[in-house]
């Protein structure tokens, strides 16, 4: 099961009709199970699923550290994919105690919450150790298209990139879901023992509350999004100490929180 597939399409250009092969992004149900208990079904691109399982488990607070995830198995099913994970007993007990119905969720961090108090939880502010220059950000933005092979092939996926403070793209993940792409990236980075102080996140989507919350959960200090943020995302970023940028595009970007942390140098 690959990240894309070929279909035959009827193409119209300038009034001329032709049939041709086209590559489209794969999207399948991915069931995340913990200690043989089903937790949630997500619609995702079936690639980098081990990274996805780890990143989702960390950003959703299901586990506290990489060591809490003992094993991950990707099990193909007729209807989709099962991501079978085994986690530590104390994490599983905590998960079992949470009364949240998340089946059918597609990345929404509010779906299934039983109260307004559960829906938005503000964590302790992240530490502030980095400054990012506008020039470094623009280097990352310029480099992003060439680092998205699945997007170039299909035109249907989002990406999340980890960028060094010099603007170089160190790692990147793609998925049909923006939250999934970010979880995959955070999973990959966490597995390799990254330091949040070594860079910043750049995502090809809008900056919703869920994206900001996942970035904060990973200890990231700066999140830049190609599109706009939401009001809740800006409020959450401000309270959490996250530097939040939007409309990060060639030659421009908006800084919504902590503009003093952006520098004008290299």
Catalytic residues: 108
| Cα–Cα dist 29/106, whole Å | 10
Nearest to 107 by CA among 42, 204, 172, 40: 42
- Strand positions, DSSP E, the chain: 4-13, 16-25, 28-34, 37-44, 69-76, 81-87, 132-133, 158-164, 169-175, 199-203, 222-225, 243-249, 252-255, 262-263
Pairing of strands 37-44, 28-34: antiparallel
Question: φ, ψ for residue 68 (rounded to 5)?
Answer: -75, -15
Taking each helix axis from N to C terminus, what angle separates 209-217 and 178-191, rounded to the nearest 10 degrees? 10
């Amino acid at each position: 099961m690959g990240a894309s597939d070929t279909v035959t399409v009827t193409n119209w250009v300038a009034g001329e009709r032709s049939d041709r092969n086209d590559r489209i992004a794969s999207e399948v149900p991915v069931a995340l199970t913990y200690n043989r208990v089903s937790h949630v079904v997500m619609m995702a691109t079936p690639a980098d699923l081990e990274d996805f399982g780890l990143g989702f488990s960390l950003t959703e607070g299901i586990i506290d550290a990489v060591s809490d995830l003992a094993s991950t198995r990707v099990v193909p099913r007729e209807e989709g994919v099962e991501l079978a994970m085994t986690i530590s007993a104390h994490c599983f007990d905590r998960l079992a105690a949470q009364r949240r119905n998340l089946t059918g969720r597609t990345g929404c961090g509010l779906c299934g919450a039983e109260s307004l108090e559960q829906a938005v939880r503000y964590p302790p502010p992240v530490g502030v150790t980095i400054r990012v220059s506008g020039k470094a950000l623009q280097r990352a933005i310029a480099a992003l298209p060439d680092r998205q092979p699945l997007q170039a092939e299909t035109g249907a996926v989002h990406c999340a990139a980890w960028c060094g403070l010099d603007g170089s793209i160190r790692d990147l993940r793609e998925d049909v879901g923006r939250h999934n792409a970010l979880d995959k990236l955070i999973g990959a980075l966490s597995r390799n023992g990254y330091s949040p102080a070594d860079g910043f996140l750049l995502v090809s989507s809008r900056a919703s509350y869920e994206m900001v919350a996942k970035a904060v959960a990973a200890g990231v200090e700066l999140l830049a999004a190609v599109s706009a943020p939401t009001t809740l995302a800006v409020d959450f970023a401000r309270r959490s100490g996250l530097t939040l940028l939007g409309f990060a595009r060639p030659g421009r970007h908006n800084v919504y929180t902590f503009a003093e942390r952006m520098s004008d140098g290299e």
